[in-house]
Amino acid sequence: MFLALLAAAVLLALLVGRLPRGAGRALAAGGAVLALVCAALVRLRASHLPGHGPRRWHNPR
């Protein structure tokens, strides 16, 4: 899922470079940003980002 979202972001970013100014270009740019955010959330949920693993029990004493 992570790699598919990254591939979608790359394809949409390439599409932004090819499209003339207008609504289509804005939608492609927004889609690329959403795909990158979703890819980051997939990694975050899988606990593969540094500092975002499962919480360990800390004894307060």
Quick one: pLDDT at residue 47?
66
Among 1, 3, 24, smallest CA distance to 12 is for 24
The answer to whether residue 54 is domain-embedded is no
pLDDT at 38 over 80: yes
Q: How far apart are CA 8 and CA 2, in angstroms?
A: 10
Q: Is 12 inside any structural domain?
A: yes
- Residue 59: helix, strand or coil by DSSP? coil
What pLDDT was estimated at residue 55?
Answer: 65
Q: What residues make up the domain containing 31?
A: 2-45
The answer to whether position 58 is within a domain reads no
Report the domain count for the chain: 1
Between 1 and 47, whose confidence is greater?
Answer: 1
Residue 55 within a domain: no
Q: Using CA atoms, how far apart are residues 2 and 44, in angstroms rounded to an integer?
A: 11
H helix runs in 20-59, sequence order: 23-45
